[in-house]
Amino acid sequence: MVKDKCFSQNYFRMFGLGLSLMDAVNDLFEIMKPEELQEVRCLLINALINKRVFHKFRFFGNCFCVAIDGTGVYNWGDTPPESILPYALKKEYSKSGKVNYSSQILEAVIVCSNGLVVPLMSEWIANDGLDYDKQDCELKAFKRLSVRLKKCFPRLKLCILADGLYSNVSMMNLCDEYGWKFTTVFKDGNLPSVWQEVESLLPLSGASHKCQQQICNRTHWITSDYCWIKNLEYQKYRIHWLECVQISKHRQTGEETTNRFVFLTNWDVNDKNIFSILQAGRARWRIEDHFNTQKNRDGALPHKFNRNNFNAIKNWHNLRQLGCMMREMVKYTSELKQVKNEIKKMTWKELWKNLNSLLTMLLIEDIITDFENWSKSARQIRLE
């Protein structure tokens, strides 16, 4: 097609690289080790950390917050390809007797205070053959991911952000072994012995600590009541319970909305860091928004680039995460934010489409001089 030819020529002129045929890329991905692409991602992030790119966006002074969560990627129905069947997770419905197979993955992402989400590492939740006592699960995958995370970033101080599934002793053991902090969602019913102790201590004078924060934004008055209890005993650990009850009142209508957030953490909680800990804990939702972006906002996460080779599927996913990381980095650069602020009605999606149209429809000779001058000049990319 004329458009594809124009895009290829523009791409080569700008970057000095030819575009590969996707069939050739797929053939390579079928034999390439997925660890190699994963290592590229880790090396890139290590370089950015060493250059202190993310440092000013940390929630805590010297600790990076890493959110972890699992998500479904592919639905294979009741008859997956024979080559995929040994790795697919099987779910049986007792009422209907139907069987469904799927592929799931556990992701770890760096979350920053400015909203930036950086895909850090992926671990597939997958069986290893048809003969197994128990299927693979998210918690097993987290153990494998933790080993790799510590190996790739041995000296990096991390705080693990996770949902209520991870409020358990196995997660605490891993964080204790690797010297990590954690903040996990603490739902009603999790760890009954801890909830029993919390409920017995709350009425007692001096057993809990409280403070309040009031802020006002353009639309709401927000009152946040904080409460925390320190040094709860759970097995061999001393953990801390935190609660935030937030009341938002609309400045014009007077309508009130109440939200409650409860977490467990191994941070030494006090009235100076309680706000940062809860802010980080609440930032865990960004990994869910990250999944939503990849699934429903042009990320094409559920698209099967390969349907018969699990090794290629892993490589395609790693490549997609590399692209997502670069897109997020570009999205939060000060220069691009300035462009978007100047055109206030343009969304990020529209901006990407316009940039793609530029390379697809415009002869690069019209702008190549400006581009070459721009690319040769020394510049520092700053995030906002």
Residue 230 lies in a domain: no
H helix intervals, 234-367: 274-282, 285-296, 310-331, 334-342, 348-361
Q: Is residue 54 domain-shared with residue 151, that is, in the same domain?
A: yes
Q: Is residue 49 domain-shared with residue 155, that is, in the same domain?
A: yes
From 294, 315, 332, the end of a domain falls on 332
232-255 CB burial, b ≥16 within 10 A, e <16: bebeeeebbbbbbebebeeeeeee
pLDDT at res. 211: 92
Q: Is residue 117 domain-shared with residue 69, that is, in the same domain?
A: yes
pLDDT at res. 299: 72
From 332, 351, 368, the end of a domain falls on 332
Q: Is residue 84 domain-shared with residue 98, that is, in the same domain?
A: yes
What total number of domains does the chain contain?
2
pLDDT at res. 233: 92
Q: Is residue 16 domain-shared with residue 118, that is, in the same domain?
A: no
- φ, ψ for residue 18 (rounded to 5)? -90, 150
- φ, ψ for residue 50 (rounded to 5)? -65, -30
Residue 231 lies in a domain: no
Model confidence pLDDT, tens digit, residues 266-290:
999 998 899 999 999 999 999 999 9
Query: Residue 104 is part of which domain span?
Result: 32-163+284-332
Q: Which residues of the chain have pLDDT under 70?
A: 1-3, 335, 339-340, 344-345, 348, 358-359, 361-372, 374-381
Structure tokens at 40: 């590229």
Residue 206 lies in a domain: no
Residue 95 lies in a domain: yes
Residues 113, 337, 368, CA angle at the centre, nearest 5°? Answer: 135
Q: Is residue 13 domain-shared with residue 126, that is, in the same domain?
A: no
Q: Is residue 152 domain-shared with residue 42, that is, in the same domain?
A: yes
Residue 130 lies in a domain: yes
Q: Is residue 106 domain-shared with residue 157, that is, in the same domain?
A: yes
Residue 341 lies in a domain: yes
pLDDT at res. 192: 92
Q: Is residue 346 domain-shared with residue 384, that is, in the same domain?
A: yes
pLDDT at res. 333: 80
Contacts of residue 99, defined as CB under 8 A and 6 or more positions apart, other chains included, come to 78, 90, 91, 92, 93
Kindly report the pTM of this predicted structure.
0.89
Q: Is residue 367 domain-shared with residue 341, that is, in the same domain?
A: yes
Q: Is residue 137 domain-shared with residue 42, that is, in the same domain?
A: yes
Q: Is residue 295 domain-shared with residue 150, that is, in the same domain?
A: yes
Report the residue count for the chain. 384
Model confidence pLDDT, tens digit, residues 232-242:
999 999 999 99
Residue 276 lies in a domain: no
Residue 223 lies in a domain: no
